[in-house]
Chain A
Amino acid sequence: KAGVTQTPRYLIKTRGQQVTLSCSPISGHRSVSWYQQTPGQGLQFLFEYFSETQRNKGNFPGRFSGRQFSNSRSEMNVSTLELGDSALYLCASSRQAYNSPLHFGNGTRLTVT
């Protein structure tokens, strides 16, 4: 069974640009969540999509957005990039079940210069 796939693995962007990251969940998983990981703040929840609808949202500015397609694949977008957006962005998928584990991809490393 294929795991969660994130593309690209690495990305370098300039301040002010925008970026789109992609996530393909495990087949059959309808929930996709996004997390930002930095050395200072740790692993922080960005948002979750389920059946193409945003179900939960973390405490991030509106520059961070996402969407989910009918095949459960998800994208997240960050507009007007700032230096502080440099981070590892992790996507996770899960089944719709209590205490169901999150299955993470290996992340996209975004560097903003």
Chain B
Amino acid sequence: TQLLEQSPQFLSIQEGENLTVYCNSSSVFSSLQWYRQEPGEGPVLLVTVVTGGEVKKLKRLTFQFGDARKDSSLHITAAQPGDTGLYLCAPGSSNTGKLIFGQGTTLQVKP
């Protein structure tokens, strides 16, 4: 079982601040997915990173896959209350529905 560690576990910040959350493992992954789960809803895929060193941007969100493909980070610029939620990472699936998620980072952005 691949173990993913996400940090920090909880983060509470003010609107407009920047933040970074991490997803680390001792295993090498062929790809990694980030999901966001808003209160009362199911997780929604944000991005899949595939290549070591890859950087993907989604508006104010920047995702990076480590060179060794063992870790990933998510940086949010100028956080907004709408960014509030649980951020989950998981190794990409080999075309099955079985994903092993990290424990997640709960982000609260206060107005």
- Is residue A24 contacting chain B, with contact meaning CB distance below 8 A? no
Q: Quick one: closest A residue to B43, CB to CB?
A: A104
Contact count band on B: 20 to 34
Provide the bound-state CA to CA distance between A33 and B42, in Å: 13
Give residues of chain A (57-81) contacting chain B, Cβ–Cβ below 8 Å.
Answer: 58
Given that A43-B101, A99-B31, A101-B48 are contacting pairs, would A106 and B41 also be in contact in the complex, using a CB cutoff of 8 Å?
yes
Q: Are B48 and A99 in contact (CB under 8 A)?
A: yes
Contact count band on A: 20 to 34
Interface of A is mostly: strand
Give residues of chain A (3-32) contacting chain B, Cβ–Cβ below 8 Å.
Answer: 4, 31-32
- Is residue B55 contacting chain A, with contact meaning CB distance below 8 A? no
Give residues of chain B (70-111) contacting chain A, Cβ–Cβ below 8 Å.
Answer: 88, 92-104
